[in-house]
Amino acid sequence: YAQLDFGKMWKPLEGLSYKFAFGPDFRYNRNGIFRDSSSASLAGSTNYASWGSNRYFSWTLDNMILYNRQFGIGVTLLQTASKNNHESGSMSASDILVPEMLWNNMGSVDVTQSRYKAGMGTGLTESQMASYMARINYSFNDRYLLTVSGRYDGSSVLAAGNKWDFFPSAALGWRINQE
């Protein structure tokens, strides 16, 4: 992440800062299985091979502006976005013609013939979120506290017409030990 304290750059902006954070995540895995016809799990039937791969990519981005002054007012503004993407593929077959190739010769299988029990699949899952938030904190004599905030969130996985909603919040506080 990166953070800028504007008050250290220019005195009139004391208490104002900006924070930026970005977090990517990338994962990839691939697996292959081959069971020879002599395998105990196949009990003498034909050989079996399968192959699969998964790719995951996601990221989160946060932008935050903070303002805090000695006279009891604090403001926080937040914008955040995230995206997730998962892609997968798999194939399997029995009676592989060249067993020495393990799962790396699936193209030699005639998928139109049922004796191979061939199967394949692919998948893609994507989702996105975006959020905007504003919060104001007020403190009077460091005794009486007020917080008001609102958050506006959107998600691609929600039903059409319900992708966005607003979530307000308010709180009062009293530090009785300050009396």
DSSP labels for 80-124?
A: EEEEEEEEEEEEEEES-S-GGGTTTTGGGS-TTSGGG--EEEEEE
pLDDT of 130: 97
Q: Which residues of 44-75 are buried (b: 16+ CB within 10 A; e: fewer)?
A: eebbbbbbbeeeeebeeebebbbbbeeeeeeb
SS3 (DSSP) at 34:
strand
Beta-bridge partner residues of 106: none
Per-residue model confidence (pLDDT) at position 3: 93
Give the pLDDT means over successive 10-residue stretches in the chain (179 positions): 91 92 97 85 81 97 91 92 97 86 82 89 97 95 92 94 95 88
8-state DSSP, 159:
P
pLDDT of 92 reads 93
> In this predicted structure, what is the pLDDT of residue 124?
97
Instruction: Enter the pTM of the model.
Output: 0.75
Sequence length of the chain is 179
CA angle (100, 36, 52) in 5-degree steps:
75
> What's residue 89's pLDDT?
97
Q: Hey, is 162 helix, strand or coil?
A: coil
Here the tokens at position 102 are 């393990």
Residue 171's Cβ-count burial label (10 Å; 0-12, 13-18, 19+) is: exposed
Residue 101: the pLDDT is 80
